[in-house]
Structure 1
Amino acid sequence: MTTTDHPLATVSREFRTVAAMVRKNQWGLPTPCPEWNVTEVLGHVIAGSQMSVAIAAGAGRAEAIDVLSTEFIGDDPLDALNALDVALALQQTALVDSVVDERVCQHPAGDMPAAQLRSLRISDLLVHQWDLARAIGANETLDPDVVQIVWDDISPMAPVIAQLGVFGNGPSGAVPDDAPLQERLLDLLGRRP
């Protein structure tokens, strides 16, 4: 697999495509993340990507938290795409193009191997791609291969996912096992398509 075929590269490209569709009058629209509007979701993804770059390079937990609280967009949300491009490129280099899989990263949620950090970033980009698409009325279809990867990573946590506090209320229990995988994944992640 080349680095451009890697799931992180795929989901980064697709997130960027949806982000580029945001129009000037849509930056303040609410998203399925109740506490975040479109600008704030973009800011979260940029900060999370930059934080991942820092901890993959050896930054400690306190520094990671500082990066997460950094405002990367500024006063003009239209600059967000430039900040996003930089963050996604740096993240690709740090988590795919370099050899970091054996490194233990000091993530704010706890120490984890770089491969697990990369999986978290794939999940984050995927679900927030859907959040942005839903908010601005764009196509909500997610890459089925990446959906499968994220499902395989996250579905074992289904019994406790609501308790984590990062995926809304967790699964609703109302989506049948034979529903399309994207629908089941979104429901697991607290989204109600």
Structure 2
Amino acid sequence: MTTYPISDLLDAAARRALPVVRGVSDDRLGDPTPCRDYTVADLTNHLFQVVVNFQALAAKEAVTWPEAPDHLHGDWRAGLGTETERLSKAWAAPGSEEGVSPGMGLPSRAVGQMALLDLTVHAWDLARATGQDFDPAPEVLPDLEELVAMMGPTGRGMGVFGEPVDPAPDAGRFERLLASTGRDPGWTRPV
């Protein structure tokens, strides 16, 4: 398996995610998403928070996770683009993938993979919730599969992942990954 730097994978994921974010119209912010209990606005705010906080985690700094942040003001779509660029740069810094992340107690590369997972899977969530198409960058899938295999039980215990869903027999690689996080790959927004 070819191992790409996390910064390269984050760049690739952002190139696929940002068009979805730009396609989220304000009238869809209250709509449900495949993430139970999250509206489009909630999920977008969560994604913003992840992208910002994981910049600090790349530098091995402590982060806080305030409840219900509100980043959806001004030109937030462009703001998320700027923050994803900063995220990739933070993970390109020397040493960002080395050692163990303080406070997280995980290998630093796994922490970077967590940001990659959120950027990829939540882009799919937002696309589904707002009627857009989304295909992940294929090069991110090996890292995401590795992370979900490693963190699945812990993620389910913490409520980050749902119980795995049985994918369709003809499910593709990304659909199987979604199912392993507890998502229904066939989820569609209510009419």
TM-score (normalised: structure 2): 0.81
1:191 matched to 2:183: yes
Does the CA contact (< 8 Å) of 1:100 and 1:114 recur in 2?
A: yes
Partner of 1:57: 59
- 1:156–1:53: structure 2 CA closer, same or farther, 3 Å change rule? closer
| SS of residue paired to 2:75 | helix
Cα distance in 1, alignment partners of residues 153 and 106 from structure 2: 21
Letter aligned with residue 15 of structure 1: A
**1:29: Cα distance to partner?**
1.3
**What stretches of structure 1 of length at least 5 have no aligned partner?**
none
| SS of residue paired to 2:105 | strand
| SS of residue paired to 1:39 | helix
What is the number of residues matched between the two proteins? Answer: 183
| SS of residue paired to 1:171 | coil
- 1:69–1:188: structure 2 CA closer, same or farther, 3 Å change rule? same
User: What whole-Å deviation, never above 9, does each CA across 1:4-30 have from its counterpart, x for those lacking one?
Assistant: 981111001211111011112112211
Cα distance in 1, alignment partners of residues 147 and 6 from structure 2: 21
User: What whole-Å deviation, never above 9, does each CA across 1:86-111 have from its counterpart, x for those lacking one?
Assistant: 3212111111244322243234xx32
Cα distance in 2, alignment partners of residues 4 and 160 from structure 1: 22
Cα distance in 2, alignment partners of residues 4 and 119 from structure 1: 7
Letter aligned with residue 71 of structure 1: P
Cα distance in 2, alignment partners of residues 140 and 5 from structure 1: 21
Partner of 1:175: 167
- 1:158–1:73: structure 2 CA closer, same or farther, 3 Å change rule? closer
**1:31: Cα distance to partner?**
0.7
The one of 83, 89, 108 equivalent to 2:85 is: 89
Letter aligned with residue 183 of structure 2: R
Does the CA contact (< 8 Å) of 2:7 and 2:88 recur in 1?
A: no
- 1:69–1:58: structure 2 CA closer, same or farther, 3 Å change rule? farther
**What stretches of structure 2 of length at least 5 have no aligned partner?**
186-191
Letter aligned with residue 80 of structure 2: L
| SS of residue paired to 1:6 | helix
1:13 matched to 2:9: no
Partner of 1:166: 160
Partner of 2:121: 127
User: What whole-Å deviation, never above 9, does each CA across 1:153-193 have from its counterpart, x for those lacking one?
Assistant: 3235556653341112x212x22676311111110011102
Aligned-residue Cα RMSD (Å) equals 2.7
User: What whole-Å deviation, never above 9, does each CA across 1:112-167 have from its counterpart, x for those lacking one?
Assistant: 23211111111111110110000001113222332233113323555665334111
TM-score (normalised: structure 1): 0.81
